[in-house]
Structure 1
C-alpha cells in the first residue's frame, strides 16, 4: 500500500478567504460562499509547514518524498455554477517559492521536487455559487501498484494491489483534521467516522470481503478504539458471517463486545436490509 493522507478543511480561519464569506463547519463537510470574491483569489490554503506560535496547531499536509509522484483528489459537491483551479507552491528551507504547478481540475498528479523543503496546496476561485467541501485524498503513486478509490457519503475505501498472502483490511478514523497512513501490506484501506451508522459500515465491508477467500486480517488505527461497541465486535461479527474463513485482528478490546445473540440479531437485520 502506498502512503495515503486524508485531509480536511481544518479550523484555521486565517488560511481561508474570510472577507464577506459565509463558512459553515459541519462534522462531515464545510460549506463556503463568497460569490463576489475576485477571480484567482485563494479560497483555502493547506500547508505542510506551520508556525506553532502563530497557528497553535500542526500543519495539515504531510511531508512528502522527493522525486515521488502523488495523486490528489478533491472531494467537492458537484455544482455546474462552480469553477475552481488548484496550484501547488514548492518552497525552499527559507520559505521562498522555488516552483509553482497549476491544475485546472480537482483530480491530478504531481511530482515532488528534490529541492523542495515544504509545500502548500491552494484552492483558487474562478467562479462559484456555493462550495461544499468534504476532504482531500493524497496518495503516493507507484508504477507497480494500482489504486482505486470509492467514496460514499460517510466512508472512503481505497483498494491497493498488494502482494500478500493475506487479504488485509486497514481501518482508520476520518475524524481527525489530517491523517497519514503508511502500510505496505494492506489491500484495502477504509476511512470512516465514529458517527457513521455501523450497519452502513458493516454492509460495505461485507460487500468488499464477499469475493475474498481464505485468510483475512483486520488492522485498525488508534482512534478506532474510541468507536462504538459494534466496531469493537467487528471481528466476531465477520467470523459469524464468514464461518469458513480465518479472520485475525489487532482489536485488543476484549470486554466491550456484542453477545452472540446480539450479533445474530444484527446480521439478521443486515440480511433484511439487503433483501436476502
Structure 2
C-alpha cells in the first residue's frame, strides 16, 4: 500500500527575475491565486518556474522547492485552470553538482508521478503553456510517495528438538512428530 506525505505547497507569491514570462503578460495577484493573461503566448513558453537552488546574493530570493531524495517516488498535483481548458504541462528539470542537465521529465495533464533521478543535486519545476492564453494558478502540491511496510508479529517457531516439555501435548497438532 502506498501513502503520500505533503512536502511542500508551492504558491506563486511574487514577481522575480527569470521566474515568470513577462513579455506582453498581465499578472494579477489575489489573496489565494494568481491570474496570468497573455493573448499572444506561444505554446511551450514557460509561464512560471520554481527552483531548488538559488544565488541569494545575486537574486535576493530563497529556493522555493524542498530537497528530493534520488531514487524516491514523488507526486506533483497542480491546482490551476487554463483557458482553453487543460492547455498546460509541467516540466521537471534535474541537474547534477556541476549544474549539467541530467534528466527532463514532462508531466501532462492527468500525469503526476515521477522518480527523482540518481545524481540529482538540484531541480526546477516549470509550468508551460500548451496553447493557453489565460492561467489561474492556485498552487502546486509536492508529495513524497512511500510504501507502507507492514510489520508482522514475530511468531515463535520451534525445531523438533527445541520444543519445550510444556508443549508435548500439542506436538502432533503442530506437525513435529
TM-score with structure 2 setting the length: 0.75
> CA deviation digits over 1:180-209, x for unaligned, max 9?
xxxxxxxxxxxxxxxxxxxxxxxxxxxxxx
- Separation (CA, whole Å) in 2 of partners of 1:142 and 1:54: 37
Q: Is residue 2:50 matched to residue 1:46?
A: yes
Rg larger in 1 or in 2?
2
> CA deviation digits over 1:135-168, x for unaligned, max 9?
11101001228xxxxxxxxxxxxxxxxxxxxxxx
- Separation (CA, whole Å) in 2 of partners of 1:3 and 1:67: 18
- Separation (CA, whole Å) in 1 of partners of 2:86 and 2:76: 19
Structure holding more strand per residue: 2
Quote the offset at 1:47 in angstroms: 0.4
Match of 1:72 in 2: 76
Determine helix, strand or coil for the equivalent of 1:127: coil
Whether the 8 Å CA contact 2:84–2:133 is kept in 1: the answer is: no
Q: Is residue 2:41 matched to residue 1:37?
A: yes
Match of 1:23 in 2: 27
Determine helix, strand or coil for the equivalent of 2:58: helix
Q: Gaps (5+ residues) in structure 2? A: 150-177
Quote the offset at 1:96 in angstroms: 1.3
Q: Is residue 2:133 matched to residue 1:129?
A: yes
Match of 2:152 in 1: none
CA pair 44-132 structure 1, distance change in 2 beyond 3 A: same
Match of 2:92 in 1: 88
Determine helix, strand or coil for the equivalent of 1:53: helix
Q: Gaps (5+ residues) in structure 1? A: 146-276
Whether the 8 Å CA contact 1:82–1:130 is kept in 2: the answer is: no
Whether the 8 Å CA contact 1:74–1:106 is kept in 2: the answer is: no
Quote the offset at 1:50 in angstroms: 0.8
Match of 1:104 in 2: 108
Q: Is residue 2:164 matched to residue 1:141?
A: no
CA RMSD across the alignment: 1.8
Whether the 8 Å CA contact 1:74–1:107 is kept in 2: the answer is: no
Q: How does 1:1-276 map to 2 (within 5 A)?
A: 2-14=5-17, 15-77=19-81, 79-105=83-109, 107-144=111-148
Determine helix, strand or coil for the equivalent of 2:50: strand
Quote the offset at 1:107 in angstroms: 4.6
* Greater relative contact order structure (CA < 8 Å, 6+ sep): 2
CA pair 77-40 structure 1, distance change in 2 beyond 3 A: closer
CA pair 40-131 structure 1, distance change in 2 beyond 3 A: same
